[in-house]
Each structure stands twice: as structure tokens, then as C-alpha cells.
């Protein structure tokens, strides 16, 4: 374990911590802000604070019973990361989980933290502090 408080399952060896971001490439209001907990950030949608211009949708298009639907959440971000991890393993079969995580982190773009303290605003009123300097978030983006 890396923290004074256990954060399960992300502190289990081989688990990749995934956070989500929205249209403005800022961490989504519902996503984890823990230091040392998140490995990468992937698209998750944020329909409350990161609204794109019409006709774009602020959420992620996903499969849904009977077809497709827009949804948001880290449950939308995690499949992005799992898919990239699967591509890494298809190219380099037999890699240990730590090596896959290292490739994910080293090939992700580094984005600056939002201004501190960050308050997503009503109805959620809390202050979040982003640490890690100018590269506070590692974000999976297609290149």
C-alpha cells in the first residue's frame, strides 16, 4: 500500500487507476482527485460543467441494451484504458502488469492542472487541489 489510507482496488498490484475527464480536458466533477491513486485519465464525459457547443454531446457514446446511448462516468473511461492496454499486450505479449502500466503512463499526454483550488461549483461545493506541477494529469489521447 502507498497511502496511510487504503484505496482499494487501485493499490492492489497490477491495477491501473483510471480517472475521467470531460470535453474541456479537465477532470470530471465526479472523478477521483487522490494523489498517487490515479495512473491515467481517459474520456468519461461531464454533462454538468464541461458542456461542448451544440450539436456535440458532453458524454461518451457507448453500447447500451438495444443499441447505443450517451453515458458518463469512470465506467466510460476505464474501457478506453483497457482497450489501449489490450493493444499494448497484443504488440508485446507476456508483459508484466507493471510494464503495461509504465507504457500507458509514458505514452499519455501530460496536461496542466486546473487553477488551484478547483471548485466545480454548485450544487457541488468543495475545493480540490491538483498536484504534480504542470503535468498534473496523464491523459490518454489519440495522436
Q: Which residues pair with 70 in a beta bridge?
A: 61
C-alpha cell, 79: 474501457
* Cα(138)–Cα(142) distance, integer angstroms: 13
Give the CB-side neighbour count of residue 103, counting CA atoms within 13 A.
15
Give the CB-side neighbour count of residue 23, counting CA atoms within 13 A.
14
Domain membership of residue 2 (yes or no) is: no
The residue range of the domain holding 99 is: 18-139
pLDDT tens column, 20-63 = 889 988 888 787 666 567 788 899 999 888 889 989 999 999 99
Q: What is the mean pLDDT of residues 101-123?
A: 75
Burial of residue 2, with CB atoms counted within 10 A of its CB: 0-12 exposed, 13-18 middle, 19 or more buried: exposed
pLDDT of the residue at 53: 93
Domain membership of residue 122 (yes or no) is: yes
pLDDT of the residue at 79: 93
Domain membership of residue 94 (yes or no) is: yes
Domain membership of residue 42 (yes or no) is: yes
How many domains does the structure of the chain reveal? 1
- Please tell me which residue, 122 or 99, carries the higher pLDDT value: 99
CATH number, domain with residue 33: 3.40.50.200
Domain membership of residue 8 (yes or no) is: no
C-alpha cell, 117: 483550488
Domain membership of residue 85 (yes or no) is: yes
Domain membership of residue 128 (yes or no) is: yes
List strands edge to edge, sheet with 40-43: 18-21, 40-43, 137-139, 109-111
pTM over 0.85: no
Amino acid at each position: 500500500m502507498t497511502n496511510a489510507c487504503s484505496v482499494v482496488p487501485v493499490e492492489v498490484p497490477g491495477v491501473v487507476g483510471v480517472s475521467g475527464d470531460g470535453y474541456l480536458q479537465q477532470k470530471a466533477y465526479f472523478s477521483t482527485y487522490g494523489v498517487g491513486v490515479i495512473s491515467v485519465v481517459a474520456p468519461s464525459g461531464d454533462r454538468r460543467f464541461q458542456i461542448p457547443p451544440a450539436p456535440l454531446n458532453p458524454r461518451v457514446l457507448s453500447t447500451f441494451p438495444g443499441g447505443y446511448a450517451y453515458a458518463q462516468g469512470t465506467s466510460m473511461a476505464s474501457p478506453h484504458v483497457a482497450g489501449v492496454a489490450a493493444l499494448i499486450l497484443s504488440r508485446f505479449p507476456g508483459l508484466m502488469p507493471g510494464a503495461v502500466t509504465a507504457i500507458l503512463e509514458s505514452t499519455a499526454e501530460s496536461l496542466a492542472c486546473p487553477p488551484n483550488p478547483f471548485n466545480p461549483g454548485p450544487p457541488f461545493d468543495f475545493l480540490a487541489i491538483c498536484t504534480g506541477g504542470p503535468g498534473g494529469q496523464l491523459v490518454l489521447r489519440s495522436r
